[in-house]
Amino acid sequence: MDHKDVLSKVKEENVKFVSLQFTDVTGAVKSLDIPVNRLNVALNEGIWFDGSSVEGFARIQESDMRLVPDPATYALLPWSPADMRRARIFCEIYQPDESPFLGDPRGTLKRMLAQIEVRGWTYNVGPEPEFFLFKHNGPTIHPVPQDVGGYFDFSASDAAVRVRTELMDALAGMGLEVEMGHHEVALGQHEIDFEYDEALRTADNVLTLKYTVKAIAAQHELVASFMPKPIFGINGSGMHCHQSLFDRQGKNLFFDPNEKYGLSKLAYGFIAGQLAHARALSAVVAPTVNSYKRLVPGYEAPVYIGWAQINRSALIRIPRYTPGREKSIRAELRCPDPSANPYLALTVMLAAALDGIDNNLSVPEPLNEINVYHLTPEDRVAMNIAELPGSLAEALRLLEGDKVLQEALGPATYESFTRAKWAEVEEYRMRVMDWEVERYLEVA
């Protein structure tokens, strides 16, 4: 879709306002709303804004920045009222001297993808974002699940089914190829999957899904949360990412019909790179202090670094190959969660994989038919199975030592991301939690 197509579309759909969207370094969606009569100017010249108040953007003495809309990302916001119909367009960010702003998360991913475009490759990703639907619970912040369903549960009269169906319809209307939606393991937990796509569009789609789910949930007087671990003692929300590399002819470069698991040498290098960088990678793909309350044994979240076919306790899973479906060969990375900024997460995931490919890193033996959770610490040491970091602080220290991932993010994005995340760690460190009061108030 080009400029003319967008201008024609807003007229056809009776759009009154357009939200020009981008994210800060943490992944929060930001928006400037313009009346539709300003859209032509925005498409041709961009829109100036003050970047000094946006996390990870310009300092106050150099705050002027310019949003340049990407017309290919135009979509109607179906929940907006008909008399005030709104659409959205994702934007790229430029500095006053016309150069791209190097701290723009979307631009960071585009620069990473340019490295494989010259090789004739496309990085395809199919994410599986999980989320909770909670009831409004008055003045308390303790979440109450909307339903009492479990994995794949269905009831024709279940309010959760009706909301999830409405969500899927809205997402399809915004251009996502929705594959399925279903109830997840925990009470009030759901998943909506959409078809894999090239990485930039996939990252856009993750953001679209997140704020669409939140907007429509709010219309039903529900709270939608992509928090990784909102409730103690039950499963948290992950965002497993199915990945593959294709060439320009649409051939899946991961496939080798003569190999035991159907995987090519390039696929093995890809997997080896992500395993080698997994501990530092965690800082970006599981980027909150809460993320590490999900990444613990016992709740289906991966903790131990290894790969396997079928085995869901492994960090990277290779779904079983079905003859005739060569395009479906993929590597499923299971540690990301939906609190991640999708642009930065895919940036470092690809950087790690390319390091494995370019340096011919070798994969360890697969963990097939081994439940790693049942191994003793001594067993894991003997098998050379490492663990993901146990906290955001540990992950950030590991990222400090990973030059490959730092280079992929670039100095501006890396500095602003780590500054924001260390501030989060420090604030968390100083807060007094309910658990501490219950445990220590009368016994300490």
* Residues identified as active-site: 50, 128, 130, 184, 191, 240, 312, 332, 334
Q: Tell me 296's DSSP state.
A: S
CA pair distance 321, 319, nearest whole angstrom? 6
Can you spell out the DSSP letters for 199-230?
A: HHHHHHHHHHHHHHHHHHHHHTTEEEE--S--
DSSP bridge partners of 194? 178
The phi and psi torsions of 259 (rounded to 5 degrees) equal: -100, 150
- Nearest Cα to Cα of residue 42 among 79, 82, 15: 15
Q: Tell me 361's DSSP state.
A: P
The two three-digit tokens of residue 371, written as one number? 């439940």
The two three-digit tokens of residue 107, written as one number? 């631009």
CA 38 vs CA 41, 45, 47, 337: distances in Å: 5, 11, 10, 37
Those residues with Cβ within 8 angstroms of residue 12's Cβ, 6 or more apart along the chain or in another chain:
none
389-394 long-range contacts, CB within 8 A, separation 24+ = 389/279, 389/282, 389/283, 389/292, 390/292, 390/295, 391/289, 391/292, 391/425, 392/283, 392/286, 392/287, 392/288, 392/289, 392/291, 392/292, 392/421, 392/424, 392/425, 393/425
193: Cα separation from own chain's centroid = 13
CA 194 vs CA 112, 115, 143, 264, 288: distances in Å: 23, 26, 27, 26, 25
CA pair distance 31, 88, nearest whole angstrom? 9
What is the residue whose two structure tokens read 């723009």? 104
Beta-strand pair 121-135/239-247: antiparallel
CA 190 vs CA 146, 185, 195, 215: distances in Å: 11, 8, 17, 16
